[in-house]
Structures are given as structure tokens and as C-alpha cells.
Amino acid sequence: MEGAASGRQPGSAGAPALSVAGVSHSYGRRKALDDVSFDVPQGRFAVLLGLNGAGKSTLFSLITRLFAVTRGSISIFGFDVSRDPGEALRRLGVVFQARTLDLDLSVAQNLAYHAALHGVGAREAKARARDVLARVDMLDRIEDKARALSGGQMRRVEIARALLHRPRLLLLDEPTVGLDVKARADILAHVRGLVTREGLGVLWATHLIDEIEPGDQVVVLHRGKLLDCGTAEAVRLRAGAPDLTAAFRRLTGEGEPT
């Protein structure tokens, strides 16, 4: 993973799925992000690794325009989220850490509401809903109320919903928090499968090192600062550590993420 790219035309084949360039953000006097720069290439699984308070959720809020970018720039497939938010966000799907399904609506109704927000007609929305639910193995629950689903099933529906408007970049903020071991593994396998089969770019925010594979792109964020980025194996080697857990400890001076 290289530094933020420049000089590419928006939407071009060479543009990264996500480019973060010199981004800083503060809450009053507290600096949550300090000159953060990295790219997520198209069709790659990238991990934003950091402890609670590292700045992961702040960065996601900037990428999704919940917060305005005041220092630096963020672009999605070359489209700047501040100057061209419509084109940028049209290519983006998001799964936030907090559960966001309406528990009193069915799975189908939750997806239909999301489709309407993105200007997808009712007939097309039904077809797309069946397609995305099949992709996450949840088509058989399409008429069930959301409250009848397990935590892992809700997450899969949220991923399906994020895919409904056919984005090319998927952001997931701590998507396995509160799930059991099997549900965590299932969600991770589903998202990795989307990268492999469909060429989606993914930025997966987590504090759990066991969710990372040696070939994954890793961005190590700590107290708002970018400490290293590259494949997990490259990060390990640069830290002179026997494994990624030890590398994280050496980079941050903290204990292992839990």
C-alpha cells in the first residue's frame, strides 16, 4: 500500500479505490487524526488496524462525509468526497459498527428503504435485494423481521444492504464486534469472497489481529498517527518481529489488541 496517489483522472482504471492524503482532524484541542495518508488499491482487502481510540471511526466518518474534511483530501476512485460527493459516495458501501437495521421491519423492507434512498425503483430494488441476499447466504430470511435474526445474520444483511446500490468500495467498521467465533469467521469469509469473486475494494477496520492474513494490506493507526502501512508480512519484517502481534506491540508500545 503506497502513499496517496495523485495525477489520475477520476474514475480511471488506475485510480485507487480509496485515497487518503494528509488528513488531519481535531475535536477541539484533541487531535484525532494527524496527517494520515494511504491508498487502498482496487480489488484488495485492506485492514485498518488500531486499538479503540486510534482514530478509525473518525476516519470512517470523514470518508462517508458524516464529518467535513478540513485538512487533507479523501477520494474514492479519483472522485474527491468534498468536491464531488455524489460521484464519490455512489461508489461506496458502508457497514458501521453500530447495528442500523430497523428491527420492526422485515429484511426485504430494510433493503427496500435503503434502495429508495439511493433512487433505485421498487421493481429493480426487489431484484437487487434477492441478488445481494443470495450473495451473503440470507435469501431464505428475506421475509423475516430483523429482530428475529442472530447478530451474525444481521451483519450479513447489513453487508447485503451496503451492496444494494452496487458500490466498488466497501467500508466495514469493527464489523465482528459482539459476534461469536463462528459468526466472526463467517462474516470475514463472506467479505473476502466479495474481494476475490467480484473485485471489490475493502477497508476493514478492526482491533483484532487474528482477522488479518499475511498478504492483507494493513494500515496501522495509533492515537491518530499512521505508524506503518503495507502487507502484513512487510509490516512484520520492518518491525523485526516474529509475528504481527509482536510487530504491533513494537510499533505502538502497547499491549496486544483484544
Residue 19 pairs in a beta bridge with 39, 75
**What pTM was estimated for this model as a whole?**
0.89
- Residue in 8, 17, 40, 26 with CA at minimum distance from that of residue 72: 26
DSSP 93-150: EEE-SS--S-TTSBHHHHHHHHHHHTT--HHHHHHHHHHHHHHTT-GGGTTSBGGGS-
CB-count burial class (<10 Å; 0-12, 13-18, 19+) for 246: middle
**What string of pLDDT tens digits covers the 258 residues of the chain?**
444 444 455 655 689 999 999 999 999 999 999 999 999 999 999 999 999 899 999 999 999 999 999 999 999 999 999 999 999 999 999 998 888 899 999 999 999 999 998 888 999 999 999 999 998 889 999 999 999 999 999 999 999 999 999 999 999 999 988 888 888 898 999 899 999 998 999 999 999 999 999 999 999 999 999 999 999 999 999 999 999 999 999 999 875 555
Per-residue confidence (pLDDT) for residue 3, from 0 to 100: 44
Reported as a single tens digit per residue, the pLDDT across 210-249 is: 999 999 999 999 999 999 999 999 999 999 999 999 999 9
The Cα 235–Cα 39 span in angstroms is: 16
Other beta carbons within 10 Å of 181: 9
Residue 119 confidence (pLDDT): 87
Please name the residue that has the C-alpha cell 508500545.
253
d(CA 158, CA 154) in angstroms, rounded, equals 6
Decide: 162 and 94 in contact? Cβ < 8 Å: yes
Residue 186: left if φ>0, alpha if ψ -120 to 50, beta else—which one?
alpha
Domain boundaries along the sequence of the chain: 103-166
Name residue 17's amino acid. Answer: A
Question: pLDDT digit string (tens) for 165-195?
Answer: 999 999 999 998 888 888 889 899 989 999 9
Calculate the CA 230 to chain-centre distance: 17
